[in-house]
Structure 1
Amino acid sequence: MLKVTVWNENRHEQNNPVVSEIYPTGIHGTIAQFLQAEGIETTTATLDEPEHGLTDEVLATTDVLVWWGHLAHEEVNDEIVKKVQQRVLEGMGLIVLHSGHFSKIFKTLMGTSCDLKWREADEKERLWVVSPGHRITEGISEYIELEKEEMYGEHFDIPQPDELIFTSWFEGGEVFRSGVTYTRGNGKVFYFRPGHETYPTYHNEQIQRVIINAVKWAQPVKRERPVYGNAKPLEEIKGGQQ
Structure 2
Amino acid sequence: MKLGGVFLSILLLASHAHAKDDKMVRVLLWSEQTEPRNVYPQGISGALYDHFKSVKGFEPKMAALSDPETGVSDAVLDQTDVVIWFGHQKHKDVPDAAVERIVRHVKEKGMGFIALHSSHFSKPLKALLNASGAWSSYVNFGQPEKVWVVLPQHPIAKGLEDFTIPKTEIYTEPFEVPEPEAVILEGTWETGHRNRECLVWTLGKGRLVYIRPGHEEYPIYFMPEMRRLVANATLWAAGRTHAPKNMTKRNAGPPATATGPYKKPETQ
- What TM bracket, shorter-length normalisation? 0.7 to 0.9
- 1:225 alignment partner in structure 2: none
- 2:151 alignment partner in structure 1: 131
Cα distance, 1:204 vs structure 2: 0.3
CA contact under 8 A between 1:123 and 1:172: conserved in structure 2?
no
Q: Which amino acid is the alignment partner of residue 144 of structure 1?
A: F
- 2:213 alignment partner in structure 1: 194
The TM-score normalised by the length of structure 1 is 0.86
- 2:175 alignment partner in structure 1: 156
| Structure 2 residue matching 1:21: 3-state secondary structure | coil
CA contact under 8 A between 2:148 and 2:185: conserved in structure 1?
yes
Rounded to whole Å, the distance in 2 between the matches of 1:149 and 1:167 is 14
| Structure 2 residue matching 1:189: 3-state secondary structure | strand
Cα distance, 1:188 vs structure 2: 0.8
Unaligned 5+ residue runs, structure 1?
13-18, 222-242
Q: Is residue 9 from structure 1 mapped to residue 32 from structure 2 by the alignment?
A: yes
Runs of at least 4 residues off by over 6 Å: none
**Equivalent of residue 50 in structure 2, options 33, 43, 46:** 33
Q: Is residue 101 from structure 1 mapped to residue 101 from structure 2 by the alignment?
A: no
**Equivalent of residue 138 in structure 2, options 115, 118, 124:** 118
- 1:21 alignment partner in structure 2: 38
Rounded to whole Å, the distance in 1 between the matches of 2:88 and 2:94 is 11
Q: Which amino acid is the alignment partner of residue 30 of structure 2?
A: W
Rounded to whole Å, the distance in 2 between the matches of 1:162 and 1:58 is 29
Cα distance, 1:220 vs structure 2: 4.0
Q: Is residue 140 from structure 1 mapped to residue 160 from structure 2 by the alignment?
A: yes
CA contact under 8 A between 1:31 and 1:202: conserved in structure 2?
yes
Identity of aligned residues (%): 37
Cα distance, 1:173 vs structure 2: 2.1
Paired residues in the alignment total: 214
1:88-131 C-alpha deviation (Å, 9 max, x unpaired): 01200111100000001101111121111210111111111110
Rounded to whole Å, the distance in 2 between the matches of 1:54 and 1:220 is 20
Rounded to whole Å, the distance in 2 between the matches of 1:202 and 1:104 is 22
**Equivalent of residue 223 in structure 2, options 192, 195, 204:** 204
CA RMSD of aligned residues (A): 1.0
Cα distance, 1:25 vs structure 2: 1.6
CA contact under 8 A between 2:73 and 2:101: conserved in structure 1?
no
The TM-score normalised by the length of structure 2 is 0.78
Rounded to whole Å, the distance in 2 between the matches of 1:70 and 1:29 is 16
Rounded to whole Å, the distance in 2 between the matches of 1:220 and 1:130 is 22
Rounded to whole Å, the distance in 1 between the matches of 2:25 and 2:219 is 27
Q: Which amino acid is the alignment partner of residue 85 of structure 1?
A: V
Cα distance, 1:24 vs structure 2: 1.0
1:148-196 C-alpha deviation (Å, 9 max, x unpaired): 0000110111110000111111222211111100000110111001110
Cα distance, 1:67 vs structure 2: 0.5
Rounded to whole Å, the distance in 2 between the matches of 1:35 and 1:152 is 28
Unaligned 5+ residue runs, structure 2?
1-23, 241-268
Rounded to whole Å, the distance in 2 between the matches of 1:171 and 1:47 is 36
